[in-house]
Amino acid sequence: MPEQLSVGIVGASGFTGAELLRLLVNHPNMEVRAVTGDTQAGNNVADLYPSLAPAYGDLTYVRYEDAGLENLDLVFACLPHRASQEIVGGLIDHVDHVVDLSADFRLDDPLVYEKWYEVPHNVPDLIDRFSYGLPELFRDDIASKQHVAVPGCYPQTAVLPLAPLLRAGAISETGIIIDAASGVSGAGRAPKQNTTFCAVDEDFSAYGVGTHRHTPEIEQTLGTQVVFTPHLAPMNRGILATCYAKPAAPTSADELLSILSDFYADEPFVHVSERLPTTKATLGSNTAHISARYDERTDTAMIFCALDNLCKGSSGGAIQSANIVAGLDETAGLPLVGLMP
């Protein structure tokens, strides 16, 4: 394994691409060699994202076909679903590692993908070549494969707090409810009618009720059905999930926290505490914050998780898994603590 990996980012003009660029500045073993952005081709990265100017002042977006990605060690693909399929087939046998941030290789069953994304999967034979990039649950599988499908931000925020309790048999597999709220950056950089400042400011709304495409991903990873309702919050970044479940046996908040603490005791990027998590505490970090409560009156377990949707929830998580497949220190280049104030 070379000491320094040459890296390309496809779709680097979007928020996840920009976050990758921010994080990779401090990575000791990865060097960005090419960034694509067809709509920004010929423009400097620094002109679109002035915050990146000190590190990438001369870096220019190029069209995908002009990037020469097949000569690199690792490529991060930051494209929307379906668009990623169109390029991964041409990359997967020419670079050592493809780390895909779209939904195209997360679901095991291409028919489930077609049902929820309303388009056929064009390269279903490639799905098995990707691991599901959630190291806290699937580290061995990630290490055994060359390519990674990065989980969605909502699924990570739901799965991380619920999976240990399900595996321990502490909560029932039926009747799980997940209410989660995300910042507007989760909708991407492209302008949309419902994500303009005037639409979002001073507003809080549910959307994708019963139809959100992250639902089958959550269910696949947890192994059970859930009721999942996402909400749009008037903030730039961050997700907070509040999960409700029925205990499988008599329990308490201390018992729930003990299970979670034991499960994540050796995980560098999961912090379990009695303190209720907040999105602000995770800002800019690759760490998920988890807590739990038990409502004795209604016999309900309440489990909470907050993370930064652009860092741990996407680009930071992508680097974490890329470190694993490349045989590097899993924590390399990743911030542990958030920004305050």
Strands (E), the chain: 5-10, 30-35, 74-77, 97-100, 130-132, 147-149, 176-182, 205-206, 226-232, 239-245, 270-272, 288-295, 300-307
Instruction: Residue 26: give the domain boundaries.
Output: 5-151+313-325
Residue 271 has pLDDT above 80, yes or no: yes
The reply to whether 96 and 243 lie within a common domain is no
Q: Extract the tokens encoding 187.
A: 């909708």
Considering the chain, what percentage of its residues have pLDDT values greater than 90? 88
The reply to whether 111 and 77 lie within a common domain is yes
User: Integer distance in angstroms from the first to the last C-alpha of the chain?
Assistant: 40
Average pLDDT of the residues of the chain: 95
Residue 317 CA to residue 322 CA, distance in Å, equals: 8
Give residue 186's pLDDT.
Answer: 81
46 in a structural domain? yes
Give residue 79's pLDDT.
Answer: 94
Q: Extract the tokens encoding 197.
A: 């400042």
> pLDDT grade, residue 197 (50/70/90)?
confident
- Max distance between CA atoms of the chain, in angstroms, equals 62
Give residue 198's pLDDT.
Answer: 76
Tell me whether residue 311 is one of the annotated catalytic residues: no
Strands (E), 37-164: 74-77, 97-100, 130-132, 147-149
Query: What's the Cα-to-Cα distance from 90 to each of 25, 93, 307, 319, rounded to whole Å?
Result: 27, 7, 33, 22
Non-local CB neighbours of 47 within 8 Å, separated by 6+ positions: none
**255-268 average pLDDT score:** 98
For the chain, how many structural domains are there in total?
2
Give pLDDT tens digits for 108-140: 999 999 999 999 999 999 999 999 999 999 999
**Annotated active-site residue in 153, 243, 305, 311:** 153
Give residue 272's pLDDT.
Answer: 98
231 in a structural domain? yes
> pLDDT grade, residue 142 (50/70/90)?
very high
**148-158 average pLDDT score:** 97
The reply to whether 109 and 41 lie within a common domain is yes
The reply to whether 94 and 213 lie within a common domain is no
Residue 2 has pLDDT above 70, yes or no: no
The reply to whether 235 and 141 lie within a common domain is no
337 in a structural domain? no
Give pLDDT tens digits for 65-123: 998 998 899 999 999 999 999 899 889 999 999 999 999 999 999 999 999 999 999 99
Give residue 117's pLDDT.
Answer: 94
The reply to whether 303 and 318 lie within a common domain is no
Q: Left if phi > 0, otherwise alpha if psi is -120 to 50, otherwise beta: which for 279?
A: alpha
Give residue 36's pLDDT.
Answer: 96
Give pLDDT tens digits for 23-75: 999 999 999 999 999 899 999 999 999 999 999 989 999 999 998 998 899 99
Residue 1 has pLDDT above 60, yes or no: no
Give residue 118's pLDDT.
Answer: 94
Q: Extract the tokens encoding 25.
A: 């500045």
Give pLDDT tens digits for 275-285: 999 999 999 99
338 in a structural domain? no
